[in-house]
Structure 1
Amino acid sequence: MILAFAAALRSTCLSRKVGCVIVRDGQVIATGYNGTPKGTWHPEEFPRPCPCVGGVSGADLSLKYCAHAEANALAQSAYRGASTSGADIFCTNFPCIECVKLLISAGIHAIYYVHGYPDVSGLRDRYLSQAGIPTHPIAWSRIQPHLSALAKG
């Protein structure tokens, strides 16, 4: 989970820093963070402000400039030819409905997360239940001391 928070440090999103790690058989196969697609503008360079700044969390996702951490991690897995079937994903934030759909289709086995994320569609938890994918919250109090220790060097 610490690696997911490290990945979040690379985020270019102006609203929220999110990271994730996909692990299969104890091996990291991909990391991801939310940001604009490779080779495109940084959010600060767009001609108008990103709708994510000051917007409703989880709403109008198609209008946002950045791809989500989970989508980027899945894309990285595909680019490298690494199967995600049966893998677990460790996320700083609970995935949104769009990412949940991708994770289900990619064969993710379980989701571990620290911070919640609104289920504005009402479908996210239902999809996860129907797909048989368990979700495991990890208390911030278990993560924070490790991040503090890393920050101190």
Structure 2
Amino acid sequence: MLILHAPVIHTGYLNFLAKEKEKISRIYLIPNALIESLSSTKPDIAAIPVEQMTCLLSILGYPEVEVFSQKMVKELARAPLLLINDRISRALHKVYFPQSDVEWTSVFLRWDADSIHTEDTHSFPESREPFDVEMMLCAYKESKLSSDWWRQVGATVVKGNKILGVAHNEGMPSDHTPYQRGAVRDFLASGERPELVDTIHAEQKLIAQAARTGTSLYGASLYITHFPCPICAKLIINSGILRCYFSEGWSTLASADLLKNAGVNLARVPM
């Protein structure tokens, strides 16, 4: 059984539906009313209405389509479920199906890593300490939740060997937003005008979450899969984070001097 959150149909969804056709006996679409209860943001007005999505799925060869409701939870909880690994579906799983047998799948598209410009970072000091490697692995695990098609970035913030939070870059207000609207920066050079984007960076999200919960980051260490952009570097400095560990470069390393001059120690953790 597939419980589907599909605000937009793109190649990622088409590839997934074609690949899993033999496995899917019935599709349950998550309605807007339920999405509102599972998310802090309202359903996007650009999302395809459930009625039209039903017609599209029928054309694609899926005639057995229903609108999911809370009345179905007891019955579906006993069946193996297939869920899209996005924010709404993760919330659905947590609230209604925490004990169910769930197979997670991704429909998000990924650029070939070789086509993404990344500055060389081998001039930075390196750390291969087991704890640093472990925290970087945690950041990479988190990055896999990102819907961003350009770079999937994960971050972990640690203080006194205790993880204070993890985050990944994601579209706003929904992780499907880039697939619905596109992005202005699709027409700009890599690394140019990072403020013109609907995506919140992992570092921005971590620091904002800490502010919301009243968690002090003074003296903390940040582990991030990719080198911070200039905007995030300023947030890191003013949050009180004193150590920044990264593994891969970014489109530009212009923020390196900014971080160093502010007393933030930089180190690369090779993975």
How far did residue 118 of structure 1 move? 3.2
Tell me which structure has the larger Cα radius of gyration.
Answer: 2
In the TM superposition, what is the alpha-carbon distance from 1:4 to its structure 2 partner? Answer: 0.5
Correspondence for 1:126: 257
Q: Deviations over 1:89-127 (max 9, x none)?
A: 00000101110000000001100011011336x4x1221
Partner in structure 2 of residue 148 of structure 1: none
Tell me what 1:82 maps to. Answer: 215
Work out the number of aligned pairs and report it.
136
State the partner residue of 2:226.
Answer: 93
Q: How does 1:1-153 map to 2 (within 5 A)?
A: 1-38=136-173, 42-46=177-181, 49-53=182-186, 55-119=188-252, 122=254, 124-140=255-271
Structure 1's unaligned 5+ residue stretches are 141-153
Partner of 1:63: helix, strand, or coil? coil
Whether the aligned pair in 2 keeps the contact of 1:4 and 1:91 (CA below 8 Å) is yes
Q: What is the Cα deviation at residue 52 of structure 1?
A: 4.3
Q: Taking every aligned residue pair, what percent have the same amino acid on both sides?
A: 27
**Superposed structure 1 runs of 4+ greater than 6 Å apart:** none
Q: Contact 1:15/1:52 (CA < 8 Å) preserved in 2?
A: no
CA RMSD of aligned residues (A): 1.9
Task: Structure 2 unaligned segments of length 5 or more: list them.
Answer: 1-135
Q: What does residue 147 of structure 1 align with?
A: none
* CA–CA separation in structure 2 for the residues paired with 1:119 and 1:10: 24
Cα deviation, residue 36, structure 1: 2.1
SS in 2 for 1:61: coil
Q: Is the 8 A contact 1:14 1:53 kept in 2?
A: no
Asked if the contact 2:157–2:206 (Cα under 8 Å) also holds between the matched residues in 1, the reply is yes
RCO higher in structure (CA 8 A, sep ≥6)? 1
Q: Deviations over 1:41-98 (max 9, x none)?
A: 622122xx22444743221112111011100111111122211110000000010111
